[in-house]
Structure formats: structure tokens, C-alpha cells
Structure 1
Amino acid sequence: MSGGTAAATTARVGRQRTAAAAGHAWSADPYADALRAGRGPLFLRRADGWLLPLDVERWCAEADAADLEVLRRCEGPVLDVGCGPGRLVAALGALGHRALGIDVSEAAVAHTAGRGGQALLRSVFDPLPGTGRWGTALLMDGNLGIGGDPPALLDRMAQLLAPGGRLLAETVPYPDVDERALVQVTDAHGAPGVPFAWARVGTRALLGHASAAGWRADAEWSTGGRSFVSLRAK
């Protein structure tokens, strides 16, 4: 291994370890409490006080028309990364797909199981079953932000998918957004969770990251005020 290759590998592993540790912040109580209740308000809060509302009610409902349009593009066994309360895992089962959800929140995994879906309490950066064999992976509901490092997350998704496998990702509905920040999950009472790194990525920004990492874009679309991208692994 050349010095340049070794340095790149070390940097990538370091990014993944940092992202894996940050991911466990989603097990914090405000998020778990909202999932158990099935409603918000719940927010991501930046250090400067900016709040991003989280759509807990939609996550806890059944899959909607925009979700189903994404799920109809799934091929083979499907891994839902950051599955939350399991609406997509349940919908995939109803469509006849073999699906597994992963999440770092015990409440999310329990909710998914209660819907009849399969889910594991894992970070995407943990060892996972089916590595290198998944036909499709999902990064929905802002989960491109996991770890606060989109290139590291794309590297990990490429490891999980089979060659030519499909990544279906939901992007921020502003194409050029490419933000990284330290955030906390917080509720209406301002009860803060553990700080962690997060990212927000628009379609054009994601396509730039994906192209640099060797992914091939094969579709992009918007519906119901939400934006999506389909990428193919090398």
C-alpha cells in the first residue's frame, strides 16, 4: 500500500469512527420520548439557537405517497438506515421485500418490531449482516446527515451494497445546501440531548460528493415538497 493510499484509508476509518460515535446520540431521551408518544414537537438545535423541526408525526404514521414512490424503486433485499419507528420497513414487507431496519434508538427498534418489521439496534458504522450483499439501501428523513460527514457515509453505504446496488436518499429541498454542524435533539421544553455532528445535503451537493466517490446517479425527483436521489454503487 502506498503512503498516499494508507493515509487516505486512515483518514476514512477515522471519519467513520467519529461518525459512529456521534450516531449514538439519537438514543437520547427527547427523541425516544417523542417516538413513544408518536408526536412532537422535536427539533435539532444548533449551537447558535437555530432550530430544525423534526416531523415525528409523519415518521410514526403509515408510509405516504412520496414514501411509496421511493419504495417502488427498491430492488432485492433492502436495508433501511436510521429506520426510526419503522414505517418504511413495514411498508416494504407489505410490498413483498425482505427488509431490515437499523437504528441507534431502542425506542425506534421497539416501534419497528411492534409494526411487524425486523430491526437491529445498530449504527450504520457497526458490523452489519449482509454487508456487501444488500440490493438497496435507504437514507430517508434527513439520514444523509448521519455522522456529519457525507463522504464517510457514502463510503460506508458502498461497503454495504452489492456491486451495482441502489442507494435511495432523501435530500434537503434546496439543491446547493451542504452544511455540517454540531446539534442536539431537543423538545418543546428545551430538554437537550447529547451534542453530535450532523449534516444537511441538497441534491446538487449530494451528486458532487457521490461523483467524487465513484457513484453513478440514475434518477432524481421531487414530490410532496420532498426531494430524492437514486445512486448506483460501483
Structure 2
Amino acid sequence: MRGRAAAVAWTEDPYTEAIGNGRGPLHLRARDGWSLALDVERWCAAADAADLSVLDRCRGTVLDIGCGPGRLVTALHADGHPSLGIDLNPAAVARTRARGGSALRRSVFEPLPAPGTWDTALLMDGNIGIGGDPALLLRRVARLVPSGGLLLAEVATDDVDERLHVWMESAAGAAGTPFPWARVGAAALHRLATLSGWLPEDSWSKDAHEFVALRRA
């Protein structure tokens, strides 16, 4: 049920319309009043300096989990990195392909090409929250990369470790299906990593974005 709700939410009108238009506003909201603005304009633009600080660390073949409209896959392709994006939303996958990147409409929890052989996996734009269970997600990604493989993740800028039930809401008030989500900061991700087959390797900041590098144990 949890996976089904997320699959529905990320293919509904609020998100699809924002990706198609290349702009928000689009928010994640929860019943207690919590809200998070989604940076649709950044996702639909070219890779910026913060993104490049991550992409410069990529090695070998790269799997971008939750690739959205494909700015990272496109940049990797232009730099000669074999890469694949996966995303649940057909508009995001189409936009990635139109920009010259490779992408599949697929969940990270579904069968994927070349499991266990991706040298680098990406969980950017808060995608460590996919499924609402970061430990489960980390264990799944650990099966997609080989021993010694790399995971590069964007984390919350504050020291947080929370599980939420959220929905997407547009400026017009259109609301999508509720689904589980999670937010973790660097310290929380380091704790979860050591329990999920990963070794913390590095943390860094760039232009108000926070990132963590983990190595497959």
C-alpha cells in the first residue's frame, strides 16, 4: 500500500503539471501544518554549482534514483558518464529523454537493469525520503551497487530525522494522494548508513545544499 500510494502521488496532476510547465509553486504538506516548497524551477534547469559538486565525485556508471526532469542525467551524459535515471512520473521521464539523457519509468523498489553493478548511485533533491523509510531505501540501494560502490545523497540542512505522511499541493490548491516521506540530516543518515551496509565517507555543503557520500561496505 505504501509503495502504491507513492506511485500514484508522483504521477498525479500537481506534480505532472509543474514538471510540464517547468515551474511551481508546488509544496509537500502534512496535516500538522508542516510544509516544504519543492524547487521545481531548479529541477527543470541545467545542473548548477551545487549539483556539479556532486557530479564531480561520480565514478563509472551512475544510477540517478528519482531523476525528475533529468538535469543530472543530462549533465552526466554531456560529460561522458554512462548514466540512467529512473522516475515514476512519465512527464519527468519524457523530459529527461528530450534533454538527451537516458531514463526509465520505474520505482527503485522494482527490478532494475544491471543490479549490483552501478558504480555510483544518486539520491538528490531529498530523495533519501523515498518510501518514508530511509533504512529500507539504503538497504535496497546497497543491492544495486557493488562492494566499494558509492552513494551520493542530498540531506536536510538541519539536524532532523523525521517520518511524515504528506501530499503534494499546487498554487491552485489541487492536492494529491497522501504518501509516506522522510527527512534526514547528515548525522541521522550517518547513523542509518552504518546499520544498512554503508560506511560514511564524506560530507560537504555548497550553496545552501548539504550532501553526504557513503561507501558500500
Q: TM-score, normalised by structure 2?
A: 0.97
Tell me if the contact between 1:19 and 1:149 (Cα under 8 Å) persists in the aligned partners: no
Q: Does 1:216 align with 2:199?
A: yes
CA distance in 2 between partners of 1:214 and 1:113 (Å)? 32
**Residue 192 of structure 1 aligns with which residue?**
175
1:50 Cα shift? 2.1
Equivalent positions of 1:1-234 (< 5 A) are 19-24=2-7, 25-174=9-158, 176-234=159-217
CA distance in 2 between partners of 1:61 and 1:137 (Å)? 21
Structure 1 residue runs of 4 or more that deviate by more than 4 Å after TM superposition? none
Tell me if the contact between 1:136 and 1:167 (Cα under 8 Å) persists in the aligned partners: yes
CA distance in 1 between partners of 2:172 and 2:29 (Å)? 13
Unaligned segments of structure 2, at least 5 residues: none
3-state SS in 2 of match to 1:162: coil
Tell me if the contact between 2:120 and 2:151 (Cα under 8 Å) persists in the aligned partners: yes
1:212 Cα shift? 1.6
Give 1 or 2 for the bigger CA radius of gyration: 1
CA distance in 1 between partners of 2:29 and 2:97 (Å)? 29
CA distance in 1 between partners of 2:62 and 2:179 (Å)? 27
Unaligned segments of structure 1, at least 5 residues: 1-17
CA distance in 2 between partners of 1:205 and 1:135 (Å)? 24
3-state SS in 2 of match to 1:221: strand
The one-letter code of the counterpart of 2:166 is: V
1:20 Cα shift? 3.1
Tell me if the contact between 1:62 and 1:87 (Cα under 8 Å) persists in the aligned partners: yes
3-state SS in 1 of match to 2:3: helix
1:163 Cα shift? 1.3
Against the structure 1 CA distance between its residues 232 and 22, is the aligned structure 2 distance closer, same or farther, given a 3 Å change threshold?
farther
1:190 Cα shift? 1.3
Structure number with the higher helix fraction is 1
1:208 Cα shift? 0.4
CA distance in 2 between partners of 1:97 and 1:19 (Å)? 33
CA distance in 2 between partners of 1:101 and 1:88 (Å)? 9
The one-letter code of the counterpart of 2:42 is: R
CA distance in 2 between partners of 1:155 and 1:211 (Å)? 11
Of all paired residues, the percent bearing the same amino acid is 60
CA distance in 2 between partners of 1:113 and 1:168 (Å)? 23
Please give the per-residue CA displacement for 1:42-80, whole angstroms capped at 9, x wherever unaligned.
Answer: 000111232100000000000001101100100110000
Q: TM-score, normalised by structure 1?
A: 0.90
Q: Report which stretch shifted further, 164-173 or 45-54.
A: 45-54
The one-letter code of the counterpart of 2:200 is: A
- RMSD over aligned CA atoms reads 0.9
1:171 Cα shift? 0.3
Tell me if the contact between 2:139 and 2:197 (Cα under 8 Å) persists in the aligned partners: no
The one-letter code of the counterpart of 2:122 is: L
Equivalent pairs, count: 216
1:218 Cα shift? 1.1
